[in-house]
Amino acid sequence: MKTNDLILVSVDDHVIEPAHLFDGRVPAKYADAAPRFITREDGTMAWVYEDAVVPNPAVQAVVGRPKTEWGMDPVCLEEMRPGCYDIHARIKDMDANGMLGSMCFPSFVRFSGALFLENGDRDQSAAMVRAYNDWHIDEWAGTYPGRIIPLAIPILWDPELAAAEVRRVAKKGCHAVTFTSNPYDLGLPSIYQDHWDPFWKACEDEGTVVCMHIGSNSKVPSTSPDSPVELIYSLSPIGSIEAASDLVWSRLFLKFPHLRVALSEGGIGWIPYFLERIDYLYKHTQHWTGLNLGDRLPSELFSENVLLCFIDDEVGVENRHRMNLDNISWECDYPHSDTTWPNAPEEVMRYLGGVTDDEINKMTHLNAMKHYQFDPFAHIPREQATVGALRSRALGWDVGTKSTTHLRPDATVGA
């Protein structure tokens, strides 16, 4: 397959929420309590909700900036590409990248919406979750049909309310919901408890994928206080490995066999060994632990029910036949520092040599379309959805890098 013939749907990108998000979407009695986007006296930006002040909500929104500045997270909107927070500019950035579709995780509310778990009256915060989801579905995903896969945040503190919200947004066409990779880390019951059953059941009934993004347990992996940032990034898949183990050993997929859980931004290179390891363990421990997975091996449960994705994973692609190819998708991670924008097609083609066209199509768009009930071709003819066709729509769109340090409040690098 030629690069220009690829069709790319990313299952992991991010949105930097615009200031008007809650305007007109919150019940009148809660309107004054809605999160506010402010510019502080020092010129830096923040979201405020109850007692929580979330500074710099654009963590690593560094796309379009020189790599020498990637260690400095934006402190004001002017430092970001408009595509981070403006849907019209985002679509242009997607076109320039030859990317048809995108699923965007939240930012200031945290990956699993934990801001609303930890702050505010329960009824009030539930209203904020619903308002957030309505904005994401109706505006962010709804402005350009066929381009954005809608993704909801959950009502974490009440599984019955969480289930009701899953069902509500499913009626609006949203079949993906974020969730924490480890609820216990957030002070909630673990997934080994029946506590979450109403939520799992709703997701299974609606065909809604539960997306567990790395870092969604709100704990930074580290080995010591003096470890460098490289250590943290090296350990970033650990949360996905922990979540994968919980999913298998909790017997969740025996109770809800049609439930699908995605390990978002978890990579795939580690999966073959993980599958080998859990089967080995099960065969050597089940006789004395009493754990019974029926007639299924843990690797079989995982391979059938867990969705995977990769940004740049040559080893994983080489070992794709040791995984369920029908559950592997591609991601771009715009606008974070791992992103391959604006050269994603060229980057992914580096390790798709020798991969058949059918396999490429599955990983680059067909699997994502199937699992997230996303049909871009209902809005965009297939021949207009390729890398080459989309890039032709963005001719002249500026994708160059620009330094933004002069826009900082004190105009000092590293401020």
| pTM: predicted TM-score of the whole model, two decimal places | 0.96
Q: How far apart are CA 36 and CA 50, in angstroms?
A: 10
Contact 267, 316 (CB under 8 A): yes
Of residues 82, 42, 7, the one with CA closest to residue 329: 7
Q: What is the mean pLDDT of each run of 10 residues along the chain (415 residues)?
A: 97 96 97 95 90 80 86 80 97 98 97 97 98 98 98 98 98 98 97 98 98 92 88 86 97 98 96 98 94 95 98 96 98 95 97 95 98 98 98 96 76 36
Length of the chain in residues, anyone? 415
Q: What is the pLDDT of residue 414?
A: 33
Dihedral sign for Cα 314, 13, 385, 82, please: negative
State the chain's maximal CA–CA distance in angstroms. Answer: 66
What's residue 413's pLDDT? 34
CATH 3.20.20.140 is the classification of domain 3-398: yes
Q: How far apart are CA 69 and CA 230, in angstroms?
A: 16
Residue with tokens 């080459």, as numbered in its chain: 388
The whole-angstrom separation of Cα 233 and Cα 60 is 13
